[in-house]
Homo-oligomer: A and B are copies of this chain.
Amino acid sequence: MEIAHPYLLFLGDVPDALAAKTAIGIVDWRREWCLGQIRLDGCAADTGLPDTTIAEGAKAGAKTFVIGAVNAGGRLPDHWIASVVEALDAGLDVASGLHVRLGSIDAIREAAERNGRKLHDVRHSNQTFATGKGTKRAGKRILTVGTDCSVGKKYTALAMDRAMNQRGYSSSFCATGQTGVFISGRGLSLDAVVADFIAGAAEWLSPETDENHWQIIEGQGSLYHPSFAGVTLGLLHGSQPDAFIVCHEPSRTKMRGVETPLPSIRQVIDLTIQCGKLTNPNIQCIGVAVNTTSLDEDEAWAYLAKIGEEFGLPATDPVRFGMDVMVDKIAAEYGAP
């Protein structure tokens, strides 16, 4: 799936910023791809982009109308359909991370056909994959893993990609979830793939590359999450990382959406190495990325120092303190760019 940019970001009339987190994530990382936001009356979210209309956006060269908001249930509300049709009639493709397929709505399918435009359903995959093979591919790979879902695996991968680029490494971000796909303009929502092909899809997402190129792969779920660990393990095997970063949020006690207690960072490091060795015997942990929003700055530094000492690894908050210590670790372990 390749999504053409520049984007127009559609926020609908969602009641809060959380419902527009896809659009906000896109602006955080790809501000330069975004021409403006389209909001309906009553919209309470704001990405900070200039408000525009579909007609103005099309005139300015927008290529894709991105539905960057979700309403409860992942449905497309009826009163959003007119905007989607207007975008198609204005010559834009449309991309959505909703559960409903765009093409299942008659007015949208017909408008896409009428205008010869593409509908990208990022949460769905019609693609056929081979099953995973487990053979070593050329190139270097970093995977972000976590003690839970939603602990910053995407953010950490994007921050690592940016930091490595700034330090002169050849690197690229590999998206495995819907917001990541919008941010990179390609990729795949791995949790939407048929179970037999998880590892195969992960291999397809991080293909053979130059020996000195680094693919920074967005992790999913957690090996210790009772809902999603299968996706996590297939992604670990398929992406065959040389190095991984553990992402952690210290205020959590239970895993997201379930009653299962959070695993320790040590447990995650050990099980990731144990399982990851299957497809990359040299797998190693290169650091811990902590979401320290629940801590004040002194507490955050103290926490990171404690983690760093405990594991003998760099520990940082990618948002607050940047990723330089992780790139230093890459330089120490694998050499300069």
- State the A residues within 8 Å of B (CB): 131-135, 190-196, 198-200, 223-224, 226-235, 237-238, 257-260, 271, 274-275, 278-279
Contacts and interface: CB of A to CB of B under 8 A. Distances in A.
A93 to B, nearest CB: 24
Contacts of A192: 194-196
Copies in the complex: 2
Given A233-B233, A274-B271, A228 B196 contact: yes
Given A134-B258, A199-B229, 20 more contacts: A131-B228, A132-B228, A132-B258, A133-B258, A134-B227, A191-B195, A192-B194, A192-B195, A192-B196, A195-B230, A195-B231, A196-B228, A199-B226, A200-B227, A223-B233, A224-B278, A229-B275, A230-B231, A230-B235, A274-B274
A230 B131 contact: no
B194 A194 contact: yes
Contacts of A223: 233, 275
B257 A228 contact: no
A219 B231 CA distance: 17
Given A134-B227, A230-B234, A233-B229, A191 B194 contact: yes
Contacts of A190: 195
Given A191-B194, A193-B195, A274-B271, A237 B231 contact: no
Contacts of A231: 195-196, 198, 230, 234
A226 B132 contact: yes
Contacts of A191: 194-196
Nearest to A237: B226
A218 to B, nearest CB: 15
A230 B237 contact: yes
A131 B257 contact: yes
A233 B231 CA distance: 9
Contacts of A135: 258-259
A132 B238 CA distance: 23
Contacts of A227: 131-134, 196, 199-200
13 contacts: A131-B257, A134-B226, A135-B258, A195-B195, A195-B234, A198-B230, A199-B228, A199-B230, A229-B233, A230-B237, A260-B278, A271-B274, A274-B274
Q: Sorted from nearest, which 6 A-B pairs have the closest CB atoms? A: A134-B226, A230-B234, A191-B196, A230-B230, A131-B227, A132-B227
Contacts of A131: 227-228, 257
B260 A134 contact: yes
A237 B233 contact: no
A159 to B, nearest CB: 25
Contact of A198 (B195, B199, B274, B278): B195
A295 B239 CA distance: 38
A227 B238 CA distance: 8
A132 B135 CA distance: 31
A15 B234 CA distance: 35
Contacts of A200: 227
Nearest to A133: B258
Contacts of A233: 223, 229-230, 233
